[in-house]
Amino acid sequence: MEADTPKPDLPDHLSIDPRSPFYVAAVFVHDIGIRFNGQERNNVEEYCVSEGWVKVPAGKTLDRKGKPLLIKLKGKVEAFYR
């Protein structure tokens, strides 16, 4: 991570899956954090601040394509750069 690289604004809706339309590669150059209901989470796969939800893996369960099965949790979402 370079200190002189300008940080882009964090989008309202972001996914870590490169196949998703909500994936923004420029954001992942920097270390980002997600705070959900006041607690910092490190297992968030996708979030939406305006709608107030995050998607997290449901244990070790996998879907038929081998990706983690995700569940949607609703609450207050804050995204920030560390």
The predicted model gives 16-26 an average pLDDT of 92
Tell me the pLDDT tens digit for each residue of 22-34. Answer: 999 999 898 999 9
Domain ranges of the chain: 8-53+73-82
pLDDT digits (tens, 9 = 90+) for 48-68: 999 999 999 998 989 898 988
Residue with token string 């394509």: 65
CA 8 and chain centroid, separation: 15
Alpha carbons 1 and 35: distance in angstroms, whole number: 22
Task: Annotate 36-61 with DSSP letters as a single string.
Answer: ETTEEES--SEEETTTTEEEEEEEEE
Rounded-to-10 torsion of CA 6, 7, 11, 16: 120
pTM of the entire predicted model: 0.84
